[in-house]
Amino acid sequence: MSAATTTRPAPAAVARVSLRERLSNPWGKPRFLALTTWVYIGWSLIPVLLAIRFAFNSGRSRTSLQGWSLRWFTQDPTLSVLHDPTLLQALKHSLVLAVIVMLVATPVGTALALGMRRWTGRGSGVANIMLLLPLVTPELVFAVGMFLLFTTAFGFIGLGTTAQAIGQVTFTLSWVVLIVRGRLVTIGRDVEEAAADLGAPPHEVVRRVLVPLLIPAMAASLLVSFALSIDDFVVSQYLASGSDTTTVPMRIYSQARGGPTPALNALATIMLVVSLLALLLAYFVFKALTRGEKGASAIQQLATVDAGGA
Amino acid sequence: MSQGDIQLVELVKRYKDVVAVGGIDLHIPPGEFFTMLGPSGCGKTTTLRLIAGFERPDGGAILLDGVDVSRTPAHRRRVNTVFQSYALFPHKSVVDNVGFGLRYQRTTKEEARRRVAEAMALVRLEGYESRRPSQLSGGQQQRVALARALVLEPPVLLLDEPLGALDARLRLDLQVELKRIQEQLGITFVYVTHDQDEALTMSDRVAVMRDGHVEQCAEPRELYEDPSTAFVANFLGASNLIPVGVSPNGSGSRLRLGSFELHADQGAHGLGDACLAMIRPENVRLFAHGETGENRVPGMVEEVVYLGFHHEVRVRLATGTVIKVDVPNDDERDDHEQGDPVSVHLPARHLRILRADEDEADDDADGDDVPPTAPAPQHAGAQAP
């Protein structure tokens, strides 16, 4: 350090570094990478920000800016989210459905993940892959199949809230299994063996060791399945039975063709905020519950959580 | 202490086609510090896991105080395990970790508290009761794991490379501590390690394992001074293995090494003609060139390595074999230099005769830079990892 200051390299030498050299400098800041990343982020966010902007429009237009107001949230006596019964009903139904889905999918998915861990024999590998198949199945195909099922074989259930909940739980389970299984891998088998070694029978191993250690993953699962349910359009649409089982995405879709007002943007904004809050909560709950643990388990888990929200 | 007697009878464990444990017979009397030593993949950990009940044997029996427990699940066996990874419960405090198993022994709250405190004192962890495992150092975590097992007062404690994850200094401290605890409690320790120093310093008896069977089971001193196979000689400490022809000679035997003839005190009954003569580097003596006498072989110094308290001198014998010699740095000996002609004395009482093992060459301990051992004719020097 001192040598560098005493010899003081000629400033000309620094200036002579060519542009080409500066761009290809492997030790330099990754400016180009940063630029492309930010361009992409901007590109993907602009439509969302625009939609949000029009939620606060004071005029009726969804295409030209007409000042700021909360008219479409609460102020308008007939058309605002607060005063339009169809919008309010959709919001209520979406939330009810999401709560049902998260409360069912999380425990069932956790149990499934625990079971899959025990099962190591023939067929377990295939089953493991099949379990994750819903993640890549086109939702439309799945929804059409579900529709057929609930109108024929499971006709006694019929279409409606129950069918919607079952349908959403079915594809949400894959995510829960994915999250819980990731956590199980980081927990490792040796704590289970240690608990058994100390005299704990199998159900006690689950109760006193596995479940407490799985709580972060279960919390993450709750919120991810909530966000997935609120976001869902295809399954809810196919399994809906009438106006009282219309969810927010369905309402927005159907009204967009009628007489759309910025109230739809307001509704979408509310949903966006609710899902974002759910994911943020998932992030912080997970972080708080795994604090002090070694390894990158929290980050690993959150990658899954983020993917779930996308 | 009359409890804690373990007997393994024809114990077999296979994983698909791989035989992990191939019919082991062992008897571990109560109160013994028994070590299973061997390279990775020799079946020592699998054997321990079979005793603990984490694996189910494919054949044979595990007798604990005379009762076969091989079909008893882990949580009903009166043995406890200390894991290499510690396997502490990260969501519980140190006391809750230590007290975990007491819930399954019908103890009163008062007694449980007393026993946890005793166990904490035994491993010298007083004052850390309310910490989480993640707030402890590796050595402290290992002590918690130890206390958690010992608090249940098991007749047998199984330890699976418990010091493997610790640094060398701490390992030495904990070795002493483990030995102290074992002697204080008088319970049976079954200890698994691949570290020969650990095995030699702590154990009452050591079983050297290889490819799922016990190669030799003896006290450390016997194991080191009188190994029964070349593998054992190599795995424990450094050894020179010299291919020789053997013929009996009175109570001892006569060894032919090229054109030289050596004498060994040990008899060689039923070992056949082609054998290996084993001698530890510290038992070989170097003399000035030309000195003659029994068991003297001329050679030339190939390499001298300074190792602090001694020099390791590699000497190529006139027969071509390279042997290692430990020369203490005690100012009384001449310094040897590369190229010096010397006379090598292989004392008759230190020469051991071992069966030449055909498949020895392709599975030396770790497959690292150890030179091939037995049948390779020109290089007989070998060192355990």
- Looking at chain A, the whole-number percentage of residues with pLDDT higher than 90 is 22
CA distance A16 to chain B (A): 51
Interface mutation target, options A120, A183, A198, chain B, most CBs of B under 10 Å = A198
- Identify whether the C-beta of residue B227 lies closer than 8 Å to the C-beta of residue B278: yes
Same domain, A59 and A120: no
For the record, the structure tokens of A299 come out as: 């980050």
Mean pLDDT for B88-100 is: 92
Arithmetic mean of pLDDT, B19-26: 92
Residue B158 in contact with residue B48, Cβ under 8 Å?
Answer: yes
Q: Is the pLDDT of residue B370 over 60?
A: no
B189, B220, B251 - which closes a domain: B220
Q: Is the pLDDT of residue A286 over 80?
A: no
Ranges A63-77, A270-284, B165-179, B200-214, most confident? B200-214
- ipTM of the complex in this document: 0.79
Contact criterion met (CB below 8 Å) for B258 and B383: no
How do residues A113-165 score in pLDDT, each as one tens digit? 998 888 877 777 888 888 888 888 888 998 998 898 888 888 777 788 888 99
Total domain count, chain B: 2
For residue B100, the chain A residue with the least C-alpha distance is A198
- Does residue A4 sit within a domain? no
Residue A169 DSSP SS3: helix
Please tell me the distance from the alpha carbon of residue A100 to that of residue A82, in angstroms, as a whole number.
Answer: 24
List C-alpha distances in Å: B91 to A109, A289, B167, B315: 22, 9, 26, 59
Q: Is residue A6 part of a domain?
A: no
For B33-48, what is the mean pLDDT? 93
Share of chain B above pLDDT 70, in %: 90
CA angle A182, A187, A190 (to 5 degrees): 135
Query: By mean pLDDT, which of B178-187, B248-257, B274-283, B312-321 is the weakest?
Result: B248-257
Average pLDDT in the A210-226 region? 89
Residue in this structure with the two tokens 């542009």, named with its chain if needed:
A19
Q: Comparing C-alpha atoms, which of B163, B210, B175, B197 is closest to residue B38?
A: B210
CB-nearest partner of B75 from A188, A191, A196 = A196
pLDDT attached to residue B80 = 94
A54 with A92, same domain? no
Whether the predicted pLDDT of B379 surpasses 70: no
The mean pLDDT value for B290-318 works out to 87
Please say if the pLDDT value at position A14 is more than 60.
no
Residue B380 has pLDDT above 60, yes or no: no
Tens of pLDDT, residues A70-110: 778 877 777 777 778 888 888 889 999 999 999 999 999 99
Strands of B136-250 (E only): list them.
156-160, 188-193, 205-210, 213-218, 238-249
Q: What is the pTM of this model?
A: 0.76
Q: How confident is the model at residue A279 (pLDDT cuts 50, 70, 90)?
A: confident
Structural domain including A121 reads 83-309
Question: pLDDT-derived band of residue A8, with 50, 70 and 90 as boundaries?
Answer: low
Residues A143 and A39 in one domain: no
- CA dihedral over B230, B233, B238, B243, signed as positive or negative: negative
Domain count of the fold of chain A: 2
Nearest-Cα residue of chain A relative to residue B148? A198
More confident residue, B326 or B376: B326
Q: Which CA distances in Å does A142 have to A90, A207, A251, B335? A: 23, 35, 21, 84
Both ends of chain B: CA-CA distance in Å? 37
Distance (Å) from the alpha carbon of B205 to chain A's nearest alpha carbon = 25
Considering the domain architecture, whether residues B197 and B271 belong to the same structural domain is answered as no
Q: Are residues A150 and A211 in the same domain?
A: yes
Assess whether B277 and B214 both reside in one domain.
no
d(CA A180, CA B11): 37
Q: What integer is the mean pLDDT of B264-279?
A: 80
Domain identity same for B210 and B256:
no
Assess if residue B100 is contained within a domain. yes
- Give the structural domain span for B375: 238-383
Task: Give the mean model confidence (pLDDT) for residues A217-224.
Answer: 88
Q: Kindly state whether residues A132 and A239 are assigned to the same domain.
A: yes
Same domain membership, residue A100 and residue A61: no
B199 and B68 together in one domain? yes
Average pLDDT over all residues of chain A: 81
A298 neighbors A286 (Cβ within 8 angstroms)? yes
CB contact under 8 Å between A194 and B73, yes or no, is: no
Which pLDDT belongs to residue A73?
81
Residue A146 to chain B, least CA–CA distance (Å): 41
The domain that contains B339 carries what CATH number?
A: 2.40.50.140
Can you tell me the distance from the alpha carbon of A157 to that of A161, in angstroms, rounded to the nearest whole number? 10
